[in-house]
Structure 1
């Protein structure tokens, strides 16, 4: 018996942003069609006093080539100060016919790439076709990944970035500009970054809102991707109430998304706020943007389905190219 191991660098080489976005369209469609099965709520071990938590994210893909996936992921907020991704762990891929362990992938890289790829799909579906200004809040792993993934979704004429650390923001913008071959503008505040923006991404570890309704231009599309637990939020209740809200999974958002749950607790929104999942929009079961002046929001908590399909695509390419390491066990 052997298992293929894909490192952080391997995952990045095997899942470039555009190809991962195509894979995430497949994942969202399969989930909406009932071909992917996953728990509505992920099991989480969050011991009192521990520096981080451990979450388990299992999923199953039915079909001619069935597969199981399991991401065991830790969330350590203090890692940012150490220069590490706050998300660490491993994705295990199993053959759905025999149960044989097929591959082990770095969870940090899978989470980084697939999250930004899903946001790219959401932006393509929901943002106005004439969107020209992108604002990203956050300079961590997800903030940088979202600049890369969204740069090619629309013909953005301006890309702005804001975060708490001004020096880091300037450094990250310079690095991204060199990588993308186009200007990436550092901003001194979130309000400055989002003023007049057509697409906004919040990719932070904030516990309290960093984005407010009065800062958003008519017709703006917002992607809220940083908060994936019930006790933290990036958006104020007024923003939630003003937007047509779409999500990765209605059940998961109702169970875990602090942006939604805290606004609901305050009475800013009602339980029927969520319009549809992205998969329902992709399959035609639900409509997307309803007008050029409407505010739209993609509320994301992250799904095991994405990890499973991203792993399948990365491993299939690795097997064709002979990438990674094959280890007997």
Structure 2
């Protein structure tokens, strides 16, 4: 209600309110709406970034308006290029939900949990659409918070027989393996982790290629999540040029993704195109999903959190 003070929803409560079983179908619907380019469905400019040069980072602003759904939101996200062994966070985020009619702030909520969960959920949607049937081996490169959210949703949605993990440090990989609820194997090199893997998730802080096409099994699916700047990369030219490349946003990928820009690779389709049936899912080929993250994903997630919060509050 206009005039009411905004609700503040902290990270722990967001965790309690947001679940993949509820989030994934809403994200699939939102991705489809975005790719239809109907102005009444989703208005979402490409992320605006402000350089934080002294701190080797950027402030990203991600406003979104979904007119038919009555959702207006903005995410403020700071992301950084951290040195190996740094204890500082790579990403910090806050999501603001507004009333589109009155313009007042309805809720301010922790964006770190939302960012981690919606990003991992969209990667899982990409695997659902693009990986080959019967996939057995999952490889995760990176062991930060995004790696954990990806592990959680991929093992919840799919039945992999083996999960391999690589980190820049053996200690980091071992901590990750001990922190997860299921089984995972530490690998000493990227090549060891990805050789023969059916699905590969890259969630690293790398700014130079770490995954090489010569190591990737033909027909594998790669969800590339790190390297969110035009001069940052995780994947080499061989992989980018040999694979069929999908993105969450074509415009975002060709303006923000170093993997796409520096390799000269063509973005074949958006995930929403596959969901809408306007472009095919090339499951028989090697595929790359280049994830940049979109405001519509944050908007849908924030709306779900707020609706759950209201439902819980009404019972008190």
TM over 0.5: yes
Q: Relative to structure 1, is the Cα distance of residues 255 and 51 closer, same or farther in structure 2, using a 3 angstrom cutoff?
A: closer
Residues 44-84 of structure 1: per-residue CA shift (max 9 Å, x gap): 11043334321111011011x41211011111334985645
Q: Does 1:131 align with 2:162?
A: no
> Among 161, 170, 175, which residue is 1:171 paired with?
175
Q: Does 1:308 align with 2:281?
A: no
SS in 2 for 1:11: helix
Decide whether the 8 Å contact of 1:245 with 1:274 is kept in 2: yes
Q: Relative to structure 1, is the Cα distance of residues 185 and 317 closer, same or farther in structure 2, using a 3 angstrom cutoff?
A: same
> Among 72, 77, 89, which residue is 1:73 paired with?
77
Stretches of structure 2 that go unaligned for 5 or more consecutive residues are none
> Among 28, 42, 48, which residue is 1:43 paired with?
48
How far the C-alpha of 1:282 sits from its partner, in A, is: 0.4
Q: Relative to structure 1, is the Cα distance of residues 23 and 274 closer, same or farther in structure 2, using a 3 angstrom cutoff?
A: same
SS in 1 for 2:177: helix
For 1:221-232, list aligned pairs within 5 A. 221-232=221-232
> Among 49, 58, 64, which residue is 1:59 paired with?
64
Deviating more after overlay: 103-112 vs 78-87: 78-87
How far the C-alpha of 1:170 sits from its partner, in A, is: 1.0
SS in 2 for 1:151: helix
For residues 305 and 105 of structure 1, the distance between their equivalents in structure 2, rounded to whole angstroms, comes to: 16
Residues 77-105 of structure 1: per-residue CA shift (max 9 Å, x gap): 34985645321131101122222211111
How far the C-alpha of 1:10 sits from its partner, in A, is: 1.3
Q: Relative to structure 1, is the Cα distance of residues 206 and 78 closer, same or farther in structure 2, using a 3 angstrom cutoff?
A: closer
Q: Does 1:5 align with 2:8?
A: yes
For residues 12 and 223 of structure 1, the distance between their equivalents in structure 2, rounded to whole angstroms, comes to: 23
Decide whether the 8 Å contact of 1:57 with 1:71 is kept in 2: yes
Decide whether the 8 Å contact of 2:52 with 2:59 is kept in 1: no
Q: Does 1:198 align with 2:198?
A: yes
CA-based RMSD: 1.6
Decide whether the 8 Å contact of 2:233 with 2:258 is kept in 1: yes
